[in-house]
Amino acid sequence: MSVEKSTPDNGISGVEIVLDHVSKTYPGQSEPAVADVSLTIPAGEFVVFVGPSGSGKTTTMRMINRLIEPTSGTITIGGRDALSIDPNKLRQSIGYAIQQGGLFPHMTVAQNIAVVPKLLKWDRKRIADRVEELLDTVGLDSAEFADRFPRQLSGGQQQRVGVARALAADPPVLLMDEPFGAVDPITRGLLQDELMQIQAEVRKTIVFVTHDFSEAVKLGDKIAVLGQRSSVLQYDSPEAILANPADETVAGFIGQGASLQQLNLLKVRDIDLEQRPTAHENDSVAEFAARIGNDWGIILDARDRPVRWTDRKHLAGVSSLRGIGLPVGELVSTSSTLQDALEAILAERNASAVVTAARGRYHGVVTIETLIETIRSLREQHEDDPAIFEPDPSESPT
């Protein structure tokens, strides 16, 4: 591989990217689209470029894999000058995912994922194993999806395949340009959760472009708020930007909903989960009813994934747990935000959302009571802290 990985013993497989006084003027244009950007993206971090349309986010990102050549300045990736690396080799070591997956329509899912491994001349067995592994990683059943064509997939499934393809050759760097921009909000939330779970395992260096600030808050270790010509208005953790926007422009961009964003900052894994009795579909009805008592229980499938909610009334007079109770609605994962959890809870009859861990396995339950308690303590924590979640009062007109 042309871009060296850092030593894997710290769990990080990504490499540092440094943009140093990078500018781009498109041919025939008098003004630069990107002017003098300097930014260091640390190895293994998830950095989100956020900014208004036309601010040059895509141009900046595409200079990293040289889909666009900078007019001036240098970009180093893993300590090597990107301009000194053959562009094709460079792109093989940088995964790239775009809106709607960017899949080749005439290739099957498996062939799409295999593009870079094939270029790297992996043998057939290794490619087949990798395709199967990646489909599992992004939550698609290989037997069902490997031989489908992109047009036979939903938008969300296409995005999943797009992520799998970007990860295929295990590159140290992933570039993602509004990869979830074209899917509905619920699917987008799930795809974001999955990407965060994947990143927790692979620790790539990810550069992710969006114009949705709450997506940036949810995903980013760091956010670069970009203004015109990609000027870096603020580059910091989501917490720091929400607490102290650098100027009026950033504050305006965070928007009216800033105080609600605090729910986007806490993850389900940060709060104590409750447990509910669980059983598999083949287990004894009587025994499960006894364990449930007056509460709710959760029925799991053979792979421990939650399928249905049930209470004692549902179990009266039935001989099997199969198909009993109500389907569990929207699931949340440990890396979901409390905002996602709240939305899922509001959609559930019993004011709770089921939390899953890796591979969709049951992990616990988050209830509305837990959430209300958490919000209350967050408020108390920040009561005496006027800078938090508000623009700097010294700059406000009153």
Sheet of 326-327, strands arranged across = 278-280, 296-300, 306-311, 326-327
Chain positions 41 to 60 lying near ligand ATP, rule: CB under 6 A, are: 51, 53-59
211 near ligand ATP, rule: CB under 6 A: yes
Q: How far is Cα 158 from Cα 150, in angstroms, rounded to an integer?
A: 6
Q: Which two tokens stand for residue 4?
A: 């060296």
Nearer to ligand ATP, 188 or 276 (CB): 188
Residue 197 near residue 335 (C-beta atoms within 8 A): yes
Whole-number Å distance between alpha carbons of 371 and 329: 18
Which one of 3, 18, 33, 315 is in contact with ligand ATP (CB under 6 A)? Answer: 33
User: Smallest distance, Å, CB 59 to ligand ATP?
Assistant: 3
Shortest CA distance to 373 belongs to which of 381, 364, 362?
Answer: 381
The contacts found for 115-121 with CB under 8 angstroms, 24 or more apart, are 115/165, 115/168, 116/92, 116/165, 116/168, 116/169, 116/171, 117/168, 117/169, 119/92, 120/92, 120/169
Q: Which of 7, 29, 319, 398 binds ligand ATP (CB under 6 A)?
A: 29
Nearer to ligand ATP, 54 or 257 (CB): 54
Residue 204 vs 211, nearer CB to ligand ATP: 211
Least separation in angstroms between residue 180's CB and ligand ATP is 14
- State the nearest-atom distance from the C-beta of 326 to ligand ATP, in Å: 41
Tell me: does residue 99 bind ligand ATP (CB under 6 A): no
| Three-class DSSP category at 33 | coil
Q: Could you tell me the smallest distance in angstroms from the CB atom of residue 34 to ligand ATP? A: 7
The DSSP string of 219-231 is H-SEEEEE-GGG-
26 binds ligand ATP (CB under 6 A): yes
Residue closer to ligand ATP by CB (options 59, 374) is 59
Shortest spacing between CB 62 and ligand ATP, in angstroms? 8
Q: Tell me the CA distances in angstroms from 35 to 57, 165, 354, one per residue in order.
A: 12, 32, 47
Q: Which is nearer to ligand ATP, 183 or 331 (CB)?
A: 183
Q: Which stretch binds ligand ATP (CB under 6 A): 25-33, 245-253, 271-279, 334-342?
A: 25-33
Q: Which is nearer to ligand ATP, 19 or 342 (CB)?
A: 19
Cα–chain center distance at 316: 42
- What minimum distance in Å lies between the beta carbon of 211 and ligand ATP? 5
Task: State the Rg of the chain over Cα.
Answer: 23
Q: How far is the CB of 50 from ligand ATP (least distance, A)?
A: 9
CB of 52: closest distance to ligand ATP in angstroms? 7
Q: Which residues contact 361 (CB under 8 A, 6 or more apart)?
A: 303, 304, 305
All residues at 6 or more sequence positions from 318 whose CB lies less than 8 Å from its CB, including other chains: 285, 324
**DSSP 8-state assignment for residue 46:** E
Going 311 to 340 to 186 to 169, the CA torsion angle's sign is negative
| Rounded least distance, CB 126 to ligand ATP, Å | 36
Q: Which residue's CB is nearer to ligand ATP, number 26 or number 104?
A: 26
> Closest separation between CB of residue 30 and ligand ATP, Å?
11
87: contact with ligand ATP by CB under 6 A: no
Nearer to ligand ATP, 41 or 285 (CB): 41
Please identify, using beta-carbon distances, which residue of 35 and 300 lies nearer to ligand ATP: 35
Nearer to ligand ATP, 97 or 307 (CB): 97
233 close to 250: Cβ distance less than 8 angstroms: yes
The residue among 59 and 333 lying less far from ligand ATP, judged by its C-beta, is 59
Residues 6+ apart with CB under 8 A from 201: none
Q: How many residues bind ligand ATP (CB under 6 A)?
A: 12
7: which DSSP letter?
A: P
- CB 164, min distance to ligand ATP, A: 24
32 lies in the binding site for ligand ATP (CB under 6 A)? no
Q: Which residues bind ligand ATP (CB under 6 A)?
A: 26, 29, 33, 51, 53-59, 211
